[in-house]
Amino acid sequence: MNQSMSMERYTRIRQLLKMRQPDLTVCLEEVTKAHNVSAVIRTCDAVGVHKVHAVWNEPENLRKCTAMGSDVWVKTQLHNTIQQAIGHFKEQGMQVLVTHLDDNACDFRDIDYTKPTVVLLGQEKTGATPDAIALADHSIIVPMVGMVQSLNVSVAAAIVMYEAQGQRQAAGMYEVQSLDEQECQLTLFKGGFPVLFKECQRRNLPFPYIDEVGHIQADESWWKALQFSKLEG
142 annotated as a binding-site residue: yes
User: Rounded distance, CA 1 to CA 215, Å?
Assistant: 12
135 annotated as a binding-site residue: no
Average pLDDT over residues 62-71: 57
Per-state percent for the chain, helix, strand, coil, to nearest 5: 45, 20, 35
Report the mean per-residue pLDDT for the chain.
Answer: 90
User: Rounded distance, CA 41 to CA 51, Å?
Assistant: 9
Residue 96 has pLDDT above 60, yes or no: yes
Q: pLDDT tens for residues 29-66?
A: 989 888 899 899 999 999 999 999 999 876 555 555 55
Q: Which domains does the chain have, with CATH numbers?
A: 21-170 (3.40.1280.10), 181-232 (no CATH)
Question: Binning pLDDT at 50, 70 and 90, where does residue 230 land?
Answer: low
Question: Binning pLDDT at 50, 70 and 90, where does residue 231 land?
Answer: very low
Nearest residue to 98 via CA among 58, 142, 146: 142
User: Rounded distance, CA 186 to CA 180, Å?
Assistant: 10
Query: Where do the DSSP E strands lie in the chain?
Result: 24-29, 51-55, 75-79, 95-99, 106-107, 117-121, 138-141, 209-210, 216-217
28 annotated as a binding-site residue: no
Q: Which of 55-69, 102-116, 137-151 has the lowest mean pLDDT?
A: 55-69
